[in-house]
């Protein structure tokens, strides 16, 4: 993720089969369309929009499109990413296309196969080793909401900050149980997960009983909050 800032599912130290994850819908249809407000240190500053589409083929793939728009300290920043993944429980990335506006936003295309990531873009061409079970940071949001609400659930993986192509190894997400939050003046009981690992501060995720990802808090100050398209876009108007 821009500086606006091997998954294994282990349950009580026992590997949980991939079937514990929900599978994306076939047929080339949009199966996810969500809008989040984005705030920095409590101040609304932009929005985050994600769509997910299942693409038929041999093998089938899943395409995520992320649109992250921020107005901060007089600068407009826009990041638009398209991530094509295998239709497996971990959404293994095979292709990433990034473009946008702002000094910190790089345009590039990355293809991932055979443990290698080959990148072409504004900074030239380069190649990087990508270990098995690497998950991109934005797509991780979808994986988290599919995790079971069971004590002892731990997701182990390597994290790829897709917008900057920074690989951070040995991350894990742990289920911490229920927590009551006050959102829009109403107390809500949600399931809380926490991400820890190399190169990041703790990241918190809150998911409701229907497995909807409601809130994300990074570094204690970067907040994504599920909202409507109208409310999200109004932040930058």
- C-alpha pair distances (Å), 96 with each of 92, 142, 143: 11, 16, 17
**Cα angle vertex 160, ends 92, 103, to 5°?**
130
pLDDT digits (tens, 9 = 90+) for 197-232: 999 988 999 999 999 999 999 999 999 999 999 999
**The token pair that represents 62 in the structure block:** 């899943």
Q: What are phi and psi of 137, to 5 degrees?
A: -65, -45
Q: Contact, 85 vs 91, CB < 8 A?
A: yes
Q: Is 211 helix (H, G, I), strand (E, B) or coil?
A: coil
* Residue 178, burial from CB neighbour count under 10 angstroms (0-12, 13-18, 19+): exposed
Reply yes or no: is the peptide bond before residue 59 cis, omega within 30 of 0: yes
Q: Give the per-residue pLDDT at 162.
A: 86
Q: In sequence order, what are the beta bridge partners of 191?
A: 178, 207
Residue 160 has a CB neighbour count (10 Å cut-off) of: 27
Q: How confident is the model at residue 8 (pLDDT cuts 50, 70, 90)?
A: very low
pLDDT digits (tens, 9 = 90+) for 142-164: 999 999 999 999 999 999 998 88
Q: Give the per-residue pLDDT at 19.
A: 32
Domain boundaries along the sequence of the chain: 8-234
């Amino acid at each position: 993720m821009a500086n606006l800032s091997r998954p294994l599912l282990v349950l009580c130290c026992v590997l949980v089969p991939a079937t514990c994850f929900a599978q994306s819908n076939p047929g080339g249809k949009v199966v996810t369309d969500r809008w989040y407000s984005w705030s920095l240190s409590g101040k609304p500053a932009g929005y985050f929009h994600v769509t997910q589409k299942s693409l038929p083929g041999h093998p089938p793939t899943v395409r995520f499109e992320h649109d992250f728009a921020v107005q901060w300290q007089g600068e407009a920043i826009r990041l638009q990413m398209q991530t094509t993944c295998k239709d497996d429980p971990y959404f293994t990335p095979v292709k990433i296309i990034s473009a946008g506006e702002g000094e910190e936003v790089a345009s590039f295309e990355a293809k991932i196969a055979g443990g290698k990531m080959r990148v072409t873009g504004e900074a030239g061409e380069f190649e990087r080793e990508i270990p098995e079970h690497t998950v991109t940071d934005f797509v991780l949001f979808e994986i988290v909401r599919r995790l079971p609400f069971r004590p002892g659930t731990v997701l182990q993986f390597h994290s790829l900050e897709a917008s900057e192509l920074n690989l951070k190894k040995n991350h894990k997400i742990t289920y911490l149980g229920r927590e009551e939050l006050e959102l829009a003046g109403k107390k809500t009981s949600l399931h809380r997960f926490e991400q820890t690992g190399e190169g990041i501060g703790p990241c918190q995720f809150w998911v409701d009983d229907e497995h909807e990802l409601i809130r994300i808090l990074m570094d204690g100050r970067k907040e994504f909050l599920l909202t409507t398209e109208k409310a999200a876009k109004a932040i930058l108007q």
